[in-house]
Amino acid sequence: MTDPTISVAQFAAGTDVEENLASCQELIARAAATSHLVVLPEYSMYADFEKTQPDQNHSEPLDGPFVTALRDSAREHGIAVVVGINESDPDDDRVSNTLVALSKTGELTGVYRKIHLYDAFGFRESDTVIPANIESPLVFDVEGVRIGAATCYDLRFPEMSRWLVDQGADVIVLPAAWMAGPLKEQQWDTLVRARAIENTVYVAACGQTAPRCSGQSMIVDPMGVTVAAAGERAMTVASARIDPQRIADVRKTNPSLENRRFTVVPRTA
């Protein structure tokens, strides 16, 4: 088994879908030089946080041109991809905030639709996004390592990460568009580390960058040590090797998963 290398690749998406696609393709190509998996931000397809185009809500189905083009890029460069898109729903004017997982051969290996919508800090994601039903988590393998996926605001709900770990995740990837604001970068850093430490897993968190979001994409190991960081710059890739032995060693020192007395039971309503 090869210890996989993961990249977080951050940029600032906007309302030009073709421009966003080109940015994603460039970052995939750059990450592929060193990595087995690249994590791109939430809303990589289309982002209009300021609601400058309130009558438009660009979205596509999973077999639409945006995902199809990224499947081609994954196949061309031989790298797995996790990316956030705006997925259309034929029965609703709103979109699903969806993560798509693609294999290194370009196959669609899984989908996660965001459960916890960002109705906080003066923002109302639920005005334009459909809250997903709690069904099954997105968990998949890369080079023999189990990867679980969540999105942005999910980071504030510790049971979400524990749900993924209960499905065997050794790494949690978190595409995000973490809004800038007072103390937001500190909270991002604290919460990413906390999810890694309490679950004794790696966390690879990838955020959109300024002007609306914080960037600060990072990969944190099971002891909460930052092993890669992208800072605030757009179009930046940061990479780290995932070491299964590190996970095993930390879990021997800190057997918190074995010692816990509670389970996670999703609320259905």
* Segment 74-89, tens digit of pLDDT: 999 999 999 999 999 9
pLDDT of 269:
61
Mean pLDDT of the chain: 96
Q: Burial, 232: exposed, middle or buried (Cβ in 10 Å; 0-12, 13-18, 19+)?
A: middle
Instruction: Name the 3-class secondary structure at 89.
Output: strand
Please give the single-letter amino acid code of residue 140: F
What pTM, to 2 d.p., does this model score?
Answer: 0.97
The stretch 56-65 carries a mean pLDDT of 92
- For residue 212, give every residue at least 6 positions away whose Cβ sits within 8 Å of its Cβ, in sequence order, or none: 12, 47, 49, 50, 177, 179, 180
42: annotated active-site residue? yes
Exactly one of 42, 87, 125, 198 is catalytic; name it: 42
Q: Which residues pair with 6 in a beta bridge?
A: 37, 240
Percent of the chain with pLDDT over 70: 99
Element (H, E) at 248: helix 244-253
Q: Taking every pair of C-alpha atoms in the chain, what is the biggest distance, in angstroms?
A: 54
**Strand residues in 48-107 grouped as ranges (E):** 80-89, 92-102
Find the catalytic residue in 24, 152, 206, 213: 152
Q: How do residues 108-130 score in pLDDT, each as one tens digit?
A: 999 999 999 999 999 999 999 99
Residues 6+ apart with CB under 8 A from 252: none
Average pLDDT rounded to a whole number, residues 62-71? 98
Is 114 a known active-site residue?
yes
Identify the active-site residue in 114, 125, 198, 213: 114
Q: What confidence tens digit (pLDDT) does each residue in 172-223 have? A: 999 999 999 999 999 999 999 999 999 999 999 999 999 999 999 999 999 9
